[in-house]
Structure 1
Amino acid sequence: MKTKNIDTQKITAKVNNALDTAKKSLNKANYFALNTTEEVVTETITIASQWQKVTEKALKGGVQLLENQQNLIFDSLESYKKHIINGKKKFSKVFAS
């Protein structure tokens, strides 16, 4: 039987070429993933910052609205108090006479 000589240099070159190609592909994939993640995080921070400003304005406006409503309620109560006191005086005059 005749044995065939295997050229180990050709096989080694092919394996090395395949490994180099795999390394390049993995480096590209890693670079893409890293850049995409960085873009997502940066965009998320930007959007969160914008929403923080909107929330701050809403809270300030809400506090101002609550203050106005509270003042309105107290003014109304003061007005009712005056009407009740005046009504009591008039009522007393009608029945006291």
Structure 2
Amino acid sequence: MDSVKAQGNQELSAALSRGKAYIGRRTVMGTTVGGYAWKDLTTPANPGFPRDACAVSVTYTGQRAYVKVLTTGGDVSEIFCDYSAAGFACPLGWQAVVRP
């Protein structure tokens, strides 16, 4: 799992669990922490997820979050999601990234 403080009082997280990748968001205000709202990024609406993913990371710029996964074979794939109070919209599916 990876997390990053986003704009305002938002925290974004990415998780890899049981062969699936998720993006989540929660509100953090001082010592008050809200619950996560998770989105499964491995559904048919998000094609191209590599089945041998073993690590995950998340970053953001503005209202766009990027989730990256590393596979056991060393490949990297990425998906971006725009986020708002209504949730996440991830329009393009997973894309290959140049290998490290």
* TM-score after normalising by structure 2: 0.12
Structure with higher helix content: 1
Which structure would you say has the larger RCO, counting Cα contacts within 8 Å and 6 or more residues apart? Answer: 2
Structure with higher strand content: 2
Q: Which has the greater radius of gyration?
A: 1
